[in-house]
Each structure stands twice: as structure tokens, then as C-alpha cells.
Structure 1
Amino acid sequence: MKAYVFPGQGAQFTGMGKDLYESNATAKEMFERANEILGFRITDIMFEGTAEELKETKVTQPAIFLHSVILAATSGDFRPDMVAGHSLGEFSALVANKTLNFEDALKLVSQRALAMQKACEVNPSTMAAILGLEDAKVEEICDSIDEIVVAANYNCPGQLVVSGSNKGIEIACEKMKEAGAKRALPLPVGGAFHSPLMEPARAELAEAIKNTSFNTPICPVYQNVNAKPATDVETIKKNLIDQLTAPVRWTQSVQNMVADGATQFVECGPGKVLQGLVRKIAPEAEAMSI
């Protein structure tokens, strides 16, 4: 069985999608439609912008979404048995399995990006990558800190990202190193994604999701919040809303997809981060990209 997986924030690079735009009429049409919907020429930034311009949340999230979804839409042999996306990538996955249409999903992604940016400005906060510690030990250390610090991304065994207040992350990094972490590295991000500090964004996104039309998917989506397959529209909506303040359970999602029969994982979007994670989580499965 074939699982298609879609990357999240951090996979962007200058020039992303340019070859698609120039070589495929459908892709060009979708990119131009996106420029109209967003109200600015995101293609100019994707194709020619600086790394700094691409890093702006209002640009990054729609850019990665567009590259992923248009790549899938113009791939000749796109037949997923199951899909999953890492954080933002879950929206790309929901277009791939026909739960959301392209235009509605792009609007949601744009609203999500702006809501997250606002939440970051209200609560200055950050994230850090912890390498070489057991998940349970990372969770135990987070729980011992008085500041807000939580496990945010379960990326693969021995690689977990924590999220929280600036002071909380500083304390966490010290404690993780003392506990034997190989690395405890603050990340260059604008805020504490997938933590309680994203609550204002979650509330804003919830309203937008409730007002968007969702369809019955053609195959299950393994959602970040609980790593379980979902085909029920109301369940998918709830999990998508909860995702902003809950951890991304990527390790568990891949493990569950393998348990349910996935033998091949195809990464669809910029970069090759997810392929690397899949190989560490499930070395018995084949991992590739479109």
C-alpha cells in the first residue's frame, strides 16, 4: 500500500515550484489562482525571493502548501491508499484525499498562518530540538518546569521538538543537556507552535474551519493529534482545530500507517525531510519523493 506524506514549515527554498509553473499548464493555472486568492504574487517570492522573505509565516505556509498540492495534482500516477501531513502538511494531505478543495484549503492555510503570527506577537515564545533522549524523559523534564514547556513534535525516535515560553525553553535546554541529550538546540522560529500558547490562533482557526465545506475523503488521513486514521468529516475537523495546540505525533502516525499495510511512503512537496524521518521510524518501508 502507498502512503503519501506532505511536509510542513521549514521545507521551503528559493525557486520552489518554478519548474512546475514553467513546464505545466495546470500548475501555472493553479499558481495564478493562488495569487488571486491571497491578494499578492506569492509566486514571485517562491521563485525569486530571499530566504528571509520566504521565512515570513504568511508566505511560508501557503508556499509549502501550494508546492505540495500542485505537485500532487500534476503527478500522473497519484493514487493514495492513505495520506498524512506534518503540521501544516495536514492541509495538503486533506486536498490530496479530496476532503478539501484547493481554494478552500488555501484560504484556511492563509488564515492559519496569519492567526499563528498574531498569537506569536501576543506571547513571545519559541521551540527547541532535543536529540538523543527518550520521549518519556523529555516529557518528564517538561513537566518539571514551572514555565509553559511541552513536547510539540514527535519527529522520530530520539528526535523531539519542545515548545514554550522563551524562559521555559531556555531552562528546558539546560535540563535536557544535564539529562544526557546529545543536543538541545533552540530553533529559529517565530513562536511556540503546537503548544497552549497557540490558543488564540486555535480559536480563530476553529471559526474558519466551521465555515468551510468538507467532503468525505477517498482514503484515510492519519492526523497529527492522535496518529489515527480518520474518514469521518466531523472527526477530521475537530482534529484539525486541536492540532494547533497539540503535539504532532509523526513517529506514531508512520508506525500506525505501517501497521495498517503501508509499504511505500512518497513525500510530496519541497525538501526530503519526511523521507529521512520515515527511514528512521520504519526502515523496513520504502521512502521516496515525487
Structure 2
Amino acid sequence: MKAYIFPGQGAQFTGMGLDLFEKYPQARQLFERANEILEFPITDIMFNGTAEDLKQTKVTQPAVFLHSVILSKVLGDSFKPDMVAGHSLGEISALVANQTLDFESGLKLVYKRALAMQHACELQPSTMAAVLGLEDSIVEAVCAEVDGVVVAANYNCPGQLVISGSVEAVETACEKLKERGAKRAMILPVGGAFHSPLMEPARKELAAAIENTTFKTPICPVYQNVTTFAVTDPEEIKKNLIFQLTAPVKWTQSVQNMIADGATHFTEVGPGKVLQGLVKKIDRNAEVSSAEV
């Protein structure tokens, strides 16, 4: 069975999507439509912007979404997913790919999500840190010991977990985790504490937009970050997507469940190869590749 997986924030690069724009009329049409929907020329930033330009959350999230979704569309008849999943932001790309959402609705939600997260980040100084070389249970226990807000946010693969919370609490947790034997516990260059309780203001903002968006029955299941299991019911998909901002991204568990349900090949659709690397660390026998046109 073929699983298609969609990357999140951090996969962006200067020039992303330009090859699709130049080669495929359908891609050009969708990129130009995106400029209209967003009311700013995101294609200029994607194709010619600096790394700094691309790093702004309000640019990064729609840029990664557009690269992934437009690539899936130009794959044409060869794009036949048996199951899909996306890492954080990538979950919305996955929902367009399996036809739960149409292109326009997906892009509007991504942009709303980006602005809401940006706003939540401005309300309180917060950050994230990558922790390498410890069991998940040890990281969870250390976070629970620390005063203030710090939680496990991204279960990326065995031995790689990202924590998220207030700056002081994350820094304290990093010191304690090094004492407990972490190979590394390093602060990440991100705008705020994604997938933590500090994103509650963003969750509320996004919830209203999600409730007012039409979700259709998908052509194949999505394995959502919050629950990790196959979901096809539009109302359940909607509910899980609302809780995603304040809940951890359970990528390890999602991939394990996809394999248990018959996934034999994982194709990453969008910029970069980060997810392929994570899948191989979760199960070294899994076959992985990048989507190519």
C-alpha cells in the first residue's frame, strides 16, 4: 500500500516550486490563484526571497503547503494514495491531497493558522528545543518536574523528541535532560511554543475558521497527528485538526500505525527529505522516496 506524507514548517528553501511554475500550466494557474487568495505575491518570496524572508511563519506555512499540494496535483493519475499523513502543518496538505478539503479552503486555513500562531507567539515569549538520545518517557518525566509550561511537542522518531513551552521552562528542561544523559538538548530557531498549551489563543482563532469550512469524505484515510490512527469521518477530522495546535505531533506513532495497516512505501510530497529520514529511523525496512514529476 502506498502512503503519501507531507512535510511541515522548516522544509522551505529559496526557489521552491519554481520548476513546477515554469513547467506546468496547471501549477502556474494554482500559484497565481494563491497570490490572489493571500493578497500578496507569495510566489515572489518562494522563488526569489532570502532564507530570512521565507522564515516568517506567515510565509513559511503557505509556501510549504503550496509546494506540496501543487506537486501532488501535477503528479496527475500517478497520484493514487492508499493513506496520507502530514507533519504538523503538513496535515492540511494531506487533507487537500485526499480531497477532504479543496485547494482554496486548504490555503485559507493554512494562512489563518499561520497568522493565529504568529499572534499567539507575540503574546508570550516561548520556544522549542530538540532532544536527542533519550527515551520518550524520560523526556516526559523531566518536563513534568519543571515549573512553568514545558511539554513534549513532536515525537519525530525514537530518540528524537522536540519539547515546547515558555523560554525559561524549556531552558531549565534542557539542562535537566543533559544531566539525564541526552546527547543533545538544543533550543531551536522558531518563533514560539508550537504544539503546547501556549498555543491556546491560536487554537481558538483557528477553531472558528475550521468550523466554517466544508470538510468532505476523503478518498483515503488520513493518520492525524493528534490520534495517530486512520480517520475518514469529516467531523472527526475537523475536531482533530482543531486540537492539533495545542497537542503533540505523534509522528512516530502515526508511521508505526500506517505500517501496521499495510503501508509498504512512503512517498514524501513537498520540499526536502526530512520525513523520509524519520520514517527510516522508525522502521529501517520501510521503502521511502520523494515525489517526482
Q: Same fold (TM over 0.5)?
A: yes
Q: Amino acid of the residue matched to residue 134 of structure 2?
A: L
Aligned to 1:203: 204
3-state SS of paired residue (1:162) = strand
Whole-Å separation in 1 of the counterparts to 2:265 and 2:283:
10
For these two proteins, the number of residue pairs brought into alignment is: 290
Q: Which runs of 4+ in 1 moved over 3 A?
A: none
Q: Amino acid of the residue matched to residue 193 of structure 2?
A: A
Q: Is 1:229 matched up with 2:230?
A: yes
Q: Which runs of 5+ in 1 are unaligned?
A: none
Q: Is 1:5 matched up with 2:5?
A: yes
Aligned to 2:100: 99
Q: Amino acid of the residue matched to residue 51 of structure 1?
A: A
Aligned to 1:58: 58
Whole-Å separation in 1 of the counterparts to 2:283 and 2:2:
14
Q: Amino acid of the residue matched to residue 52 of structure 1?
A: E
Residue by residue over 1:127-164, the C-alpha shift from the partner in whole angstroms, topping out at 9 and shown as x without a partner, is 00000000000000000011100000000000000000
Shift of 1:84: 0.1
Identity over the aligned pairs, expressed in percent?
Answer: 73
Alignment of 1:122-271 (within 5 A): 122-271=123-272
Shift of 1:283: 1.1
Shift of 1:285: 1.2
TM-score, normalised by the number of residues in structure 2: 0.99
Whole-Å separation in 2 of the counterparts to 1:175 and 1:102:
44
Residue by residue over 1:192-247, the C-alpha shift from the partner in whole angstroms, topping out at 9 and shown as x without a partner, is 00000000000000000000011000000000001111000110000000000000
Whole-Å separation in 1 of the counterparts to 2:258 and 2:284:
13
Whole-Å separation in 2 of the counterparts to 1:52 and 1:124:
20
TM-score, normalised by the number of residues in structure 1: 1.00
3-state SS of paired residue (1:235) = helix
Q: Say what the alpha-carbon RMSD is for the aligned residues.
A: 0.4
Aligned to 2:88: 87
Q: Which runs of 5+ in 2 are unaligned?
A: none
Aligned to 2:122: 121
Whole-Å separation in 2 of the counterparts to 1:236 and 1:19:
32
Whole-Å separation in 2 of the counterparts to 1:59 and 1:106:
12
Q: Is 1:36 matched up with 2:58?
A: no
Shift of 1:248: 0.1
Aligned to 1:16: 16
3-state SS of paired residue (1:128) = strand
Shift of 1:284: 1.3
Q: Amino acid of the residue matched to residue 138 of structure 1?
A: V
3-state SS of paired residue (1:62) = helix
